[in-house]
Structure 1
Amino acid sequence: MQIVPFPSHYQLICNNFDFSSFSLISCYGVEAIHTPHIDRFASQSLVFEHAYCNIPVSGASRASLFTGMYPKFPHRFVNYTSRIGHDAPDAIVLSQWFTSHGYHTISNGKVIHHVEDKAGTWSEAPWRLHPKGYDVYWAEYNKWELWLNSESGRHINPKTMRGPFAEIADVADTAYDDGHVMQKTIADLRRLKSLNTPFFLACGFWKPHLPFCAPKKYWDLYDRDRIPMARNRYRSKGLPSAVKNSNEINAYARVAAPTDEAFLREVKHGYYACVSYVDALFGRVMDELTVLGLADNTIVILLGDHGWNLGEHGFVGKHNLMDNSTRIPLIVHVPGMEQGKTASMVELVDLYPTLCDLCHLPKPSAQLEGKSFLPVLRNKSTEIKQHVFVQWEGGDNLVDSQYSYAEWPKSGQQMLFDHRVDASENRNVVGDTLYLKVADEAAKKIRQQKKKYRLEAE
């Protein structure tokens, strides 16, 4: 590893993809998906193979990330409606901390889940194309059938007034919101270069969130019949009833059961297309960073706020404590620091203290519950913690380098997977005599974790 001194100030770009599964990006070993720009970025960065969200839903996950605080069921950061201003009004959010320490901070797209939440903590008002609603997004919507045009009356879910879960439209990259997020981010980079101040630029791409809408050329990258499907499209043996499928996709029109082969292939095809779409947009942003001469002193982070299931265990969506729902992509580029891959375990609450360390800022230590992974960025074989902690709807999940253990105190349900022999989580071994001690130790660690951070239900 090349050791270089820290610059007096790093610039910072944080790129967030909405529910991008770690298992569906090429640099994480999935050859079938087309992500050349992320792959190029990953080759110059440190790829975290065991990064986790702290709750598998956007609103709460982003609130947790931006405060450095764990969710606390049922009081703090528990679902998509979670707002920092309501759940933790006195918390100093990441943008606020950087703004108060001289950084020019900008939020483009989907960053903090609710655009009005802590909006005053940024140097500029958080930007979204049309924050008031989806029906007014596109001035030329009559040229193609966009899912978000409820007035068209075609393929509309009558209960939610949403369109189909996927759409193939032969349109430009800027026909959808993320294309405008890319353009705004590039324009901001050009403007920020002339400022005599460090910047923190957050770029939040909506995709690959539902609905799976991407320009046709990204769908055309794939032959639907040849897209590899999950081999474990069945409920894991002994899986607790507390582990459920998400109903999120059912809010859209033209939905079938997860057991429907044609439906599931279209879902996965759409997901792949959306990932390739935002990959291209991300590549445009990174190219501009290089053209502007900013790459050598800019930290760039690419992450997802939670994972997603595409047929595994019969699930389509997130909203459970399976590894596909909680494990996320996290790729960090710090000029002069480690590249390659690391098995070090990290979680999203660790990002806030890490960025403070990288940018030479003090930390609001009384608030932060994560741990800086700067030592890992300096030496990728370093471990900063033995486990990560995830919550969902009264369930507590402790994941370490070998096991994933979860329990639901109210119902007494438990599950345990041994990732060394069952990486796909197909058999719950919690009642197996060989694993009794493992489960007991994990349960003890959960109690210690909740006591340390005052996460017990009150």
Structure 2
Amino acid sequence: MHMNISKLFLLTGVFMFTSFVYAQEKPLKPNKPNILFIVVDDLRPELGCYGKAQIKSPNIDRLAMSGIVFNNAFANYPVCGPSRASLLSGIYPGTKRFAVWNASQDIDAPGIVSLPMHFKNNNYQTISLGKVYNNFDDGKGSWVKSWRPPAANWDYQSKESIRVFEERNKERYKDKYVRDNNNLPQRGPAYEDPDIPDISYEDGRIASRAVEELQNFSNNGEPFFLAVGFKKPHLPFNAPKKYWDLYQKKDIKLPANYFFSKDAPDMARLNWAELRFFYGIPASGPLPDSTAINLIHGYYACVSYVDAQVGRVLNALEELGLSENTIVVLLGDHGWFLGEHGFWTKQSNMEKGPHAPLIVKVPWKNGDAHTSALVEFVDIYPTLCELAGLSLPVHLQGKSMVPLLDNPSAAGKEYIFYRAGTGETILTKTHAYTEWINSNSGQPYARMLYDHRTDPDENINVADKPENQKLVEELHEKLTMHLKARNSITIP
């Protein structure tokens, strides 16, 4: 008996000591935590930390080990302009707001207090580097300082790419109609792999500038909201050769669902015009398999290239002693298709379009966990406000994700919403339902329904199956209620 009691005291002491040490490892919450907000263009959740072992993303994976990975995070519009304007304003995109690729917050929601402006109004130093808003001069009054690196010739670096780009543009401007319509670009190659240093491309210079700004903040001690916008893996898929060399072409495969979804309506098709502007891409029809493989290879190379730039910024945060006081948010502004459904680019209601990575590291909270709860990008604004102890502006339409940061296994939202073109989608934990609505009658003229329990890749539209009629009606009602609430917001 004496031996058992001794062992019990010993074990209790070890447990208390271990708990004490563990508690000491977590820093106390500062009064004004810094924010490092990293947004990556066209980044889909195909990373090592998302279980995609073929992708070399060690730096983002390292961030994930100390943060919470959101497995089911969705942009509210899968295009750069509206996605960014929506998440930075905290309001949903709609038919008359954030509805086009180059949507502007200042035009569509004038007077709104943006996320960075709210932090600026609370005595934060707010800085924007690279592509944060889609339009460089958007979000007026949000930043103490904003900067983008100059990039000539669409940031091509190889002599051959620059030659092709310049020749195509000379031909383009011989035609008066094309001259007068700048929405008809003729670009260079869709990818290149020159053997050059990282800093030769824009993202390398953006990372360098971010490190400089972190050094300044380390010296002056002022609370900051530093937004860093990296441009890759946006087209063209240009990255230094060493990142292409991380992948063997023989290991790259076309997706299993390299076909259009069965029974899906024609308006669900994606013409991927953004890609067709590039040299070597056919103006219509499918891609040759060899071209498709090269594009996937280029996308992977760009992901690894931008991962290295993220690593430089995260390393500086650690080395400068800022990491314990800094919340880090990393996200892709939306997803991207790499041949799924025969699609390329992103402007689609199909899941690969809006589905994006989202990782949030809060130094004083536990990390190294995943949550499968549904979240949407309008939730980011209220989340950062709550974490920083700021008030919530009355216009916000999202909900804080802090309960999920505290308990990643929590249920979260029952459903979220996103839109693309004229398609409106409600996503539940089991189904994705999309409607295309007649603007005159207000009634849907086409529908899609996918059961993610049996068809996670959305290969068979089951909206017209008799056994799904009740579910379609229920989701239609929920979607209709959302559209009314979304459009009724009053912007101060």
What TM-score do you get using the length of structure 2 for normalisation?
Answer: 0.87
Partner of 2:476: 443
- 1:46-445 correspondence runs (5 A): 46-73=68-95, 75-124=96-145, 126-130=146-150, 134-135=152-153, 144-147=159-162, 150-151=165-166, 160-245=185-270, 246-256=272-282, 257-339=285-367, 340-365=369-394, 367-410=395-438, 412-445=445-478
1:12–1:299 CA contact under 8 A, matched in 2: yes
- For the residues of structure 2 that align with 1:224 and 1:147, how far apart are their CA atoms? 25
| CA distance in structure 2 between the partners assigned to 1:401 and 1:290 by the alignment | 37
Kindly indicate whether the alpha-carbon contact (under 8 Å) linking 1:321 and 1:391 is maintained by their aligned counterparts in 2.
Answer: yes
Counterpart CA distance in 2 for 1:220 and 1:4 is 40
Kindly indicate whether the alpha-carbon contact (under 8 Å) linking 1:164 and 1:211 is maintained by their aligned counterparts in 2. Answer: yes
State how far apart, in whole Å, the 1-side matches of 2:319 and 2:467 are.
Answer: 57
How far does the alpha carbon of each residue in 1:130-182 deviate from its partner, in whole angstroms, 9 at most, with x for none? 2xx633868xx5x6334597335699988623101111111100111000000
Give the secondary-structure state (helix, strand or coil) at the position aligned to 1:145: helix
**Conservation of the 8 A alpha-carbon contact between 1:135 and 1:149:** no
Secondary structure of the 2:267 match is: coil
In 2, the alpha carbon distance for the partners of 1:160 and 1:405 equals: 34
Letter of the aligned partner of 1:82 in structure 2?
Answer: A
Shift of 1:387: 0.8
Moved more, 447-456 or 95-104: 447-456
- Cα deviation per residue 1:173-203 (whole Å; 9 max; x = unaligned)? 0111000000000000001112232100000
- The answer on whether the counterparts of 1:51 and 1:327 sit within 8 Å (CA) in structure 2 is yes
5+ residue gaps, structure 1, are none
Paired residue type of 1:249: L
CA contact (8 A) 1:53 1:326 kept: yes
Distance (Å, rounded) in 1 between the aligned partners of 2:74 and 2:171: 35
Aligned partners of 1:115 and 1:388: how far apart in 2?
A: 29
Q: Determine if contact 2:81/2:133 at 8 Å carries over to the other structure.
A: yes
Write the distance in 1 (CA, Å) between the matches of 2:326 and 2:81. Answer: 27
One-letter amino acid of the structure 2 residue matched with residue 283 of structure 1: G
Deviations 1:342-388 (A, max 9, x none): 011110000001000000001112x1001111111111122332111
Contact 2:169 / 2:186 at 8 angstroms: preserved in 1? Answer: no
Q: Is the 8 A contact 1:388 1:398 kept in 2?
A: yes
Q: Which moved more, 1:331-340 or 1:100-109?
A: 331-340
1:72 Cα offset (Å): 1.1
Which residue among 60, 67, 78 is the counterpart of 1:45?
A: 67
Q: SS of the residue aligned with 1:182?
A: helix
Query: What SS does the corresponding residue of 1:231 show, helix, strand or coil?
Result: coil
Stretch moving more, 103-112 or 259-268? 259-268
> Hey, what does 2:58 align to over in structure 1?
36
| Residue 453 of structure 1, CA deviation | 2.4
2 CA distance for matches of 1:154 and 1:106?
34
| Equivalent-residue separation in structure 1 for 2:292 and 2:386 (angstroms) | 43
Q: Quick one: which amino acid aligns to residue 250 of structure 1?
A: R
Contact 1:48 1:343 in 2 (8 A): yes
CA gap 1:163/1:9 in 2 versus in 1, 3 angstroms = same
Compare the two structures and name the one with the higher helix fraction.
2
CA contact (8 A) 2:71 2:371 kept: yes
The amino acid that maps onto 1:173 is D
8 Å contact kept, 1:225–1:265:
no
CA distance in 2, matches of 1:221, 1:153: 31
The question of whether the paired residues in 1 share the 8 Å contact of 2:94 and 2:486 is answered with: no
1:226 Cα offset (Å): 1.1
Q: Percent identity?
A: 38
Q: Distance in 1 between matches of 2:360 and 2:110?
A: 29
Is residue 2:34 matched to residue 1:11? yes
Structure 2 distance, partners of 1:255, 1:155, is: 19
- Name the SS for the 1:184 alignment partner: helix
Contact 2:29 2:325 in 1 (8 A): no
For normalisation by structure 1, the TM-score amounts to: 0.93
Q: Deviations over 1:69-125 (max 9, x none)?
A: 00011x10012221111101111111111101010010000001101112432011x
Aligned letter for 1:346? V
Say whether the 8 Å CA contact 1:147–1:167 is kept in structure 2: no
Q: Is the 8 A contact 2:85 2:105 kept in 1?
A: yes
